[in-house]
Structures are given as C-alpha cells and as structure tokens.
Amino acid sequence: QIEAVHPGEKPVVGGLSLGSIASVATINAHPSDYAGAILIEGTLYDENPVVRSVNANFCAVFEDLLANGVYYDGQGLPGFKLISQLADVNPTGLSPVPGFPAGFTNHQAFVATMSAPPLSPTTPRPGYQFLAGSVAEDRFFFVNEPLIHDNIAMFVDYVANRTVRDVNCGLAGERTFSNNLNQFNGSVIVFAGGTGFGTGMIDTANLMTSASVTLNFRAEYGHVDHVFSTNHLQEVEHPVLKWLKKL
C-alpha cells in the first residue's frame, strides 16, 4: 500500500533501543534501500575500550549459552515488568522483590532499577541509566512516569539470547552489523543520552561517512529519556518532522 501511494520512493527505517539497533543492522545490510534512518538510543558499535572489554565478557557468556542450547531467557523481563507494576499500583508499599535494601518501597525499587542498575548485558556501559533520576530523592528527573509504566506493561515476557549476544558482541568490537555503514548515503537523525548508549551513538554516526547525519545529544539524559520526556513533542517529534521534510 505504501508503494502504491509513493511509487519509487525509498522508505525510512527507525526505532528506539532495540528498534534503533535493528535499524543500524538493516541499513548496514541494505545501504541502498532506505532514504533515511531514525536512530533513538540503540547501537551495536562503540569505540570506548572499557565498553568493549565489558561487553567481550558478556559476549562470551551468551555464546556459551547458545552453544549449550539455551536460546531464550524468560525470567528477566517478567521480573522487570513486576517491579514496574508494583511501583505503579502500590508505590509506597514495601518491595517484595529480592535484591533491594530492607525497607525499600516499590517506587524506590523501581527508581533504583531504572536509574542505578548494575552493569549487565542489557545495561552494557558503565554508568548506564534507563532513566535519569535519583534513588535518594525517589524520583526521575525528566519523564512522564505513567507513560513509562504503560510502556513496560506491553513488553513481551522473553528475549532471544541470540539478540543479546549480537548486541554485546557488537559492542565488544564485532563488525558483522556495522561493517558497511560507510556505504549508506541517506539521511540519519540520531538521538543519544549521555548515560544511555552515549558516545557509542556518536561513534556509530561517524561510521556513516557517506550519510547526512543530524545529532541530538543530551548529556543529562538516560537511555529512554528522550522518548518519555515531559517535553517529548518539542524534543523528538518536532525534530523528526523537520528532518523528514528535508528528505
């Protein structure tokens, strides 16, 4: 239907987080097929040696899991969704989730999960935050929190280990999904948060030497602050619409 309305026009690919990561891989594999890409906080390339070292370990873990026939994880996401749900429906109640300090409320547990997560395969950079916030103040700095809860409630309950492996191995230096980005000659708009994928987004953009790149970098933002900001319309939608009109 899109082709019928816009015959001969190349589409734009894009997304947030894993959507951005998939978009990077897509234009890398098919650099001539897309007019542009909207990359919001998600990549599988980073030149920071500390990030590469950390992710080399994660990469090895997931390669071992796959070699032993463990193809998906069905525990992490349900636990993540539970923490969000409890904070939404009973924020002042004591958290029943193990791993948090005694006396933490459901909301404090959620803020800690989003703003002070430990280094892990899905929080793959030192200082990584899903959302900028303060555990001590029990709050987030920039976002529409009900929208966050609504979004997390829609997550699926499992993740393919191959997907996480590809991201971690890419961040460790594997170039399977980024070795051809210099051939993409379309237009790219990038949104990056300083405590999300951060400078890795800039490193990825710098690989696109034939593309026209527009960068929106907020040092104070975490991984999804741009999209769930209380100022989302001005910070994301308006820049994207302005960029699209130039294609």
Query: What is the predicted pLDDT for the residue at 6?
Result: 86
Residues 164-193 have pLDDT tens digits of 999 999 999 999 999 999 999 999 999 999
Copy the structure tokens of residue 20. Answer: 């951005």
CA-to-CA separations, 153 to 82, 87, 135, 184, in angstroms, rounded = 9, 12, 22, 35
With tokens 């820049």, the residue in question is 239
Residues 224-242 have pLDDT tens digits of 999 999 999 999 999 999 9
State the pLDDT confidence band at 4, using cuts at 50, 70 and 90: confident
Radius of gyration of the chain (CA): 19
Residues 133-157 have pLDDT tens digits of 999 999 999 999 999 999 999 999 9
Say whether pLDDT at 2 is over 80.
no
State the pLDDT confidence band at 77, using cuts at 50, 70 and 90: very high
**Sequence ranges of the domains in the chain:** 2-45+179-244, 75-157
Strand 133-134 and strand 139-140: the pairing is: antiparallel
Copy the structure tokens of residue 233. Answer: 């319309």
- Helix residue spans in 90-207 (DSSP H): 106-115, 145-153, 161-171, 199-207
Query: What is the predicted pLDDT for the residue at 206?
Result: 98
- Strands of the chain (E only): list them: 12-16, 36-40, 72-73, 133-134, 139-140, 159-160, 187-193, 212-218
Whole-model pTM: value is 0.95
What's the rounded mean pLDDT across residues 91-96? 98
What's the rounded mean pLDDT across residues 115-126? 98
Instruction: Give the relative orientation of helices 49-67 and 161-171 as an angle to the nearest 10 degrees.
Output: 150
State the pLDDT confidence band at 3, using cuts at 50, 70 and 90: confident
Fold of 2-45+179-244: Rossmann fold (3.40.50)
Which residue(s) pair with 133 in the sheet? 140
State the pLDDT confidence band at 95, using cuts at 50, 70 and 90: very high
How much of the chain exceeds pLDDT 70, in percent? 100
